[in-house]
Amino acid sequence: MSTVFLALQTNEETRPIIEAILQDNPSAVVDEQPAMVKINADGRLVVRRETIEELIGRDYDLQELQVNMITMSGNLDQTDDEIILFWKS
Amino acid sequence: MQIDLRTVTIKPLRQTFDNIARRIGADKPASRYQEGTLDMQQTANFHYRPTWDPEHDIYDASRTAIKMADWYAFKDPRQFYYGAYTLARAKQQDTAEANFDFVENRGLAGTLPESVRKTVLELLLPLRHVAWGSNMNNASVCAYSYGTGFSQPHIYQAMDQLGIAQYLTRVGLLLGDVESLDEAKRAWMDDDAWQGLRRYVEDSFVIKDPVELFVAQNVALDGLLYPLVYETIIDDVLSSQGGTPVAMLTQFMTDWFTETRKWADATVKIAAAESPENKEVMARWLSQWRDRSAAALLPVARIALGDRSDEVLGEVVQQFNARMAKAGVAL
Amino acid sequence: MDMQVAKKKLGLKERYAVMTRGLDWTPSYQKMEDIYPYIAYEGIKIHDWDKWEDPFRLTMDAYWKYQAEKERKLYAIIDAFNQNNGHLNVTDARYINTIKLFISGISPLEYVAHRGFAHAGRAFPGAGPRVACLMQSLDEIRHAQTQVHSISNYNKYYNGMHDFHHAHDRVWFLSVPKSFFDDAITAGPFEFMVSIGFSFEYVLTNLLFVPFVSGAAYNGDMGTMTFGFSAQSDEARHMTLGLEVIKFILEQDPANVPIVQRWIDKWTWRGYRVLTLVAMMMDYMLPKRTMSWKEAWEVYFEENGGALFKDLARYGIKMPKCAEQIALEKDHLSHQAWSTFYNYAAAANFHTWMPDEDEMAWLAAKYPASFDKHYRPRYEFWREQAAKGNRFYNKTLPMLCQTCQIPMIFTEPGDATKICYREVDYKGDKYHFCSDHCKEIFEHEPEKYVQAWLPVHQIYQGNCFPEGTDPTVEGFDPLAAVLQYYKLEHGRDNLDFDISEDKKNFAEWRGQATKNI
């Protein structure tokens, strides 16, 4: 399976988001680079709203993620509850 | 207690970029609007002709009948560059959100007299399509006009109109449901009341001259539609019949028109003041599209105003003429 | 209807559908082909515009809200950076030359993208693609402006960027990026989407922004890092648009596949050639390197692009065939480019220099197959000559490739000792190319590429001197006249970094900032 990834700016807002992503994707691998964190996963990566909300203690709209997103790879599907990055092959 | 903050003072070699300095003088720093606008569009040594329009260069001032010695004579009085624009709209969006919440949470939509609710759905929802048409026309002006001073506000205008179409959709969903949107679209396509306006919008889609399109859309159509629908019918007539919550839901449009009108006026004024030839062309376009716009809006006005429509629309046209006279074009 | 009953809330997808798709209608007072005149001539067949997927589903209210948040953050940092003379915190003044390259080569392209996406958005009849394109058009003017605003402060203290708009339309090497975007915007709207939306934004943007922005972060340039990352957050949306465009076109009709494949082949190559500038920046211009060009290509193209093309294989799309040649060039590209700019330092708007011993060791380690063998000896020779007062400035003009407009500096794939030349006779004229791929691109659309405004040809034809210049007078100095036409100041904007005003000022200002004088 090919790698999908999501890169976020390193800051206070993304700290719990990265934590949430790692909780929901146990096999994801974190690659820390200057001022950014890249999260790689094999074929599929999911970002779940509820997990983030549990960690930050407030309502979270997944569209907020765009403020800190640097780049990504893979097909993207977004609903109110989750963002999924995936390769079909 | 006095706090003395110190940073190292070094003398800059220059205050701004040379192209800006040539326009405003080299002795002062430029504003972000100036640095983000002036000469942003490429002007020379284009490599290839557009395969979609081989008669013209990529950016080509001859796409319009309006002639300018310097297209950067056009300045946006709001000084909107992207940052200033977005911050302004985010603030308005915040207010709009609070208004929608207020109306929704207090169930104010349910307190509207049925006649008002019906009028609002019939009148406002088909205007989603008019706003969508404006989105397309403003994209067109942005793409094919000359000089960032002129083209830039049109991308903002295009996205504002998409925003307005979406606010109208939310009004529809709040006062009605998805079926209300479908019914409004059916009326837009078939009902006599809307055919004049739909024809106006579709005819505007094929205007090739970007400045004429600016006139037809942002000056003539919006210049009558917004004062008629939002300032008069919603804020005045329907409010007096218990429709104040609706005015809250359309506050964005009212505020938006007050603001964008200043830019439209300034643009008309600058184009017309350039030369007697420009003034003649602008006057011709303005009166031609104003007349068509007034005729198209009359049956729409009847939805809310009935017999008073001619009178009210007449007043709106009078105000419009006064606006244009102030901008230097007597109609 | 009872308004008191709480309504069923629409989900993101349904909500977005009524916010966009529902706005559109089929016109009847004007013909479709008159309203949308540009969508048929490229041969792409679209049967159902509503099949378009909008992955991010941003409505304008959310767009304004989140973008304003980004803008607030960005400008707060720019202000702080400027107030604190943040430019003095960069690793060393050589770094600033990357900024010069960026503002004169890349920022003007963001502007063309803005106008191009407005054009594409207007041209497409479907509501989904229109909204996506126009949102991108709006983002692109953001990028052009935030770059100008961030770099404005550098321009106050350093040379070479004071007239970047003027330079972009004229300076010889800037015709490389300029002709790339001119090529895209003059193509039809579908090709524009494949060229910029897909090939550039999806396949290549990571190679431009991530190294550049990480490079800025690594070299202490907080201002550039911030606009870079802030712009990238929009790129994530643009990349998704780029991928959706491709999938949409391919799913609509099998006849679209070969057309799209040709565009992908063409634009991957065109984009890669423009990235020559980035390759050289990464390997030579960043005092503190993040990764080599070769490594970046391997991560962001070979791995990531590989995954992408594997995913697109189900539509019959193949990895562009130029990838093979690019793999052969990755050991050489940045070195050949830097050598050229070192040569032409008198005619450029930034400074060049020879790498020091440590830097050569880094290059040798990153490029074990090529550096010590082919490039180090050349550099050592130039360095010796410079030490003797013979810093080499090439004053003759190079032959340019008719397609990518880069001087003919590249070597044969697989043989780094032989320059690669290709030529085509067309209507009685001879045209020259740097590679098979540039030649093929020309051969497919010769009528387009014969129009190219080639800077060297233009100089020889006398079109690049200030008005009123008489090149026949005794002692006429063509380089001086060309620099005047470029509005570059000889001795300040050009030549070797070692003798530059930038170097001198930076050292003096940094001294003021860090010592008690």
C215 CB-side CA count, 13 A: 30
Segment C347-364 shows an average pLDDT of 97
Q: Do A66 and C217 touch (CB under 8 A)?
A: no
pLDDT of residue A36: 86
Contact residues on chain C for B129, CB-CB shorter than 8 A:
23, 25
Interface present between A and B (3 or more CB pairs within 8 Å)? no
Q: Does C55 touch chain A (CB under 8 A)?
A: yes
Measure Cα distances from C119 to B53, B154, B156, C115, C133 in Å: 12, 12, 15, 6, 9
For residue C432, is pLDDT > 80? yes
Interfacial C residues in 178-217 facing B (CB < 8 Å):
178-179, 182-183, 185-189
Candidate from C209, C214, C310 with C-beta closest to A89: C310
Asked if the structure places residue B46 within a domain, the reply is no
Nearest CA in chain C to A61: C62
Q: What number is the average pLDDT over the span A12-29?
A: 95
Among chain B residues, the shortest Cα distance to C509 is held by B10
Helix then strand then coil, % of chain B, to nearest 5: 75, 0, 25
CA distance to B298, B304, C193, C480, per residue, from B307 (Å): 11, 9, 51, 76
C vs A contact (3+ beta-carbon pairs below 8 A): yes
Is the Cβ of B19 closer than 8 Å to some Cβ of chain C?
A: yes
Domain count, chain B: 1
C199 and chain A in contact, CB less than 8 A: no
User: Looking at this protein, which amino acid is placed at residue C264?
Assistant: I
Q: Complex ipTM above 0.85?
A: yes
Tell me the count of B-C CB pairs closer than 8 A. Answer: 256
**C158 alpha-carbon distance from chain centroid:** 22
What φ, ψ does residue C467 adopt, rounded to 5°?
A: -55, 140
Q: Please tell me the distance in Å from C311's CA to the nearest CA on chain A.
A: 5
Cross-chain residue pair A71–C11, CB shorter than 8 Å: no
Percent of chain C with pLDDT over 90: 80
Instruction: Identify how many contiguous H helices and E strands chain A contains and give both numbers.
Output: 2, 7
**B–C contact (≥3 CB pairs within 8 Å)?**
yes
Residue C6 pLDDT more than 80? no
What pLDDT, on a 0 to 100 scale, did the predictor assign at position C1? 41
Chain A interface mutation, best of C69, C142, C233, highest count of A Cβ atoms under 10 Å:
C233
* pLDDT score of B250: 97
Cβ separation of A70 and C69 shorter than 8 Å? Answer: no
Average pLDDT, chain C: 93
- Shortest CA distance to C449 belongs to which of C67, C85, C187? C187
- Inform me whether the pLDDT recorded for C2 exceeds 50: no
For residues C142 and C150, give the distance between their C-alpha atoms in angstroms, rounded to a whole number. 12
Query: Which residue from A35, A61, A71 is facing C235, i.e. has the nearest CB?
Result: A71
Instruction: Give the range among B27-36, C126-135, C228-237, C359-368 with minimum mean pLDDT.
Output: C228-237
When scoring C311, C315, C319 by the number of chain A Cβ atoms within 10 A, the one with the most, hence best to mutate, is C311
- Which domain CATH number covers B110? 1.10.620.20
What is the DSSP annotation of C142-206?
Answer: HHHHHHHHHHHHHHHHSSS-TTHHHHHTTSGGGHHHHHHHHHHHHS-HHHHIIIIIIIIIIIIHH
Q: What is the CATH number of the domain that holds A30?
A: 3.90.56.10
Inter-chain contact B159–C63, Cβ cutoff 8 Å?
Answer: yes
Interface test with A, best of C135, C204, C232, C250 (most A CBs within 10 A): C232
Which pLDDT tens digit goes with each residue over C463-514? 999 999 999 999 999 999 999 999 999 999 999 999 999 999 999 999 887 7
Q: Which 8-state DSSP code applies to residue B113?
A: -
Contacting C residues, span 436-475, partner chain B, CB-CB under 8 Å: 448-449, 451-453, 458
> Hey, which residues 14-43 in chain C have their CB within 8 Å of chain B?
18-19, 22-25, 27-30, 34-35, 37-38, 41
Nearest to C169 among B42, B167, B173 (CB): B42
- Select the residue of C10, C85, C149 nearest B35 (Cβ to Cβ): C149
B302 found inside a domain: yes
Angle in degrees, 0-180, between the axes of helices B251-274 and B148-175, rounded to the nearest 10: 160
Q: Give the three-state DSSP class for C348.
A: coil
Can you give the pLDDT at residue C131? 94
Asked if residue B284 is part of any domain, the answer here is yes
Is pLDDT at C39 greater than 70 in this prediction? yes
The pLDDT tens digits of the residues spanning C373-420 come to: 999 999 999 999 999 999 999 988 999 999 999 999 999 999 999 999
Better pLDDT: C456 or B10: C456
Q: What is the pLDDT of residue C4?
A: 46
Question: What pLDDT was estimated at residue C3?
Answer: 45
DSSP C426: E
- Asked if residues A8 and A48 have their Cβ atoms less than 8 Å apart, the reply is no
Using the Cβ of C47 and the Cβ atoms of chain A, whether some distance falls under 8 Å is answered with: no
Q: Where are the domains of chain C?
A: 55-514
Residue C292 and residue C367 in contact, taking contact as beta carbons nearer than 8 Å: yes
Per-residue pLDDT at C365: 98
Does C38 sit within 8 Å of B17, measured CB to CB?
Answer: no
| From C23, C38, C513, residue closest to B165, measured CB to CB | C23
Determine contact: C243 vs chain A, CB below 8 A: yes
Which are the contacts of B193, defined by CB distance < 8 A and separation ≥ 6? B187, B299, B300, B302, B303
CATH (residue range C55-514)? 1.10.620.20
Task: Provide the domain count of chain A.
Answer: 1
In chain C, what residues touch B48 (CB-CB under 8 Å)? 179, 182-183, 186, 448-449, 451-452
Q: Do C165 and B17 touch (CB under 8 A)?
A: yes
pLDDT at residue C517 in the model: 58
B39 chain-C contacts, CB cut-off 8 A: 165
Please name the residue that has the structure tokens 């837009």.
Answer: B188
Q: Is residue B316 part of a domain?
A: yes
Q: Is B106 on the interface with C (CB under 8 A)?
A: no
Residue C305 reports pLDDT greater than 90: no
Tell which wins on pLDDT, C91 or C205.
Answer: C91
Compute the nearest-CA separation of A74 from chain C (Å). 7
Q: A53: distance to nearest CA of chain C, Å? A: 18
Confidence of residue C212 (pLDDT cuts 50, 70, 90): confident
Q: Measured between CB atoms, which of C55, C70, C235 is closest to A77?
A: C55
Which residues between 110 and 169 in chain B have a beta carbon less than 8 angstroms from any beta carbon of chain C?
110, 128-129, 131-132, 135-136, 139-140, 142-144, 148, 151-152, 155-156, 158-160, 162-163, 165-167, 169
Within a domain: residue B212?
yes
C69/A contact by beta carbon, under 8 A: yes
* Among A69, A76, A88, beta carbon nearest to C55: A76
Max Cα distance, chain A (Å): 37
C306 vs A: CB within 8 A: yes
Q: In chain A, what are the helix, strand and coil shares in percent, each to the nearest 5?
A: 30, 45, 30
SS3 letters across B199-232: HHHHHHHCCCCHHHHHHHHHHHHHHHHHHHHHHH
Which chains are within 8 Å of C by 3+ CB pairs?
A, B
Range scoring the smallest mean pLDDT among A62-66, A82-86, B54-58, C167-171: A62-66
Question: Is B318 in the C-facing interface, judged by CB distances under 8 Å?
Answer: no
Greater confidence (B177 vs C55) lies with B177
Q: Which residues of C touch B90 (CB under 8 A)?
A: 64-65, 67-69
Contacts of B among chains (3+ CB pairs under 8 A): C
Task: Write the residue in B35, B82, B90 that is nearest to C142 by C-beta.
Answer: B82
Domain carrying residue B192: 79-326
Long-range contacts from B21-24, C-beta under 8 angstroms, 24+ separation: B23/B72
Q: Please judge whether C118 and B142 are an interchain contact, meaning their C-beta atoms are less than 8 angstroms apart.
A: yes
Low-confidence ranges of chain B (pLDDT < 70): 1-8
Terminus-to-terminus CA distance in chain C, angstroms?
80
Which of the four pLDDT bands, split at 50, 70 and 90, describes residue C53? Answer: confident
Is the pLDDT confidence value at C231 over 90? Answer: no
CB contact under 8 A, C25 and B152: no
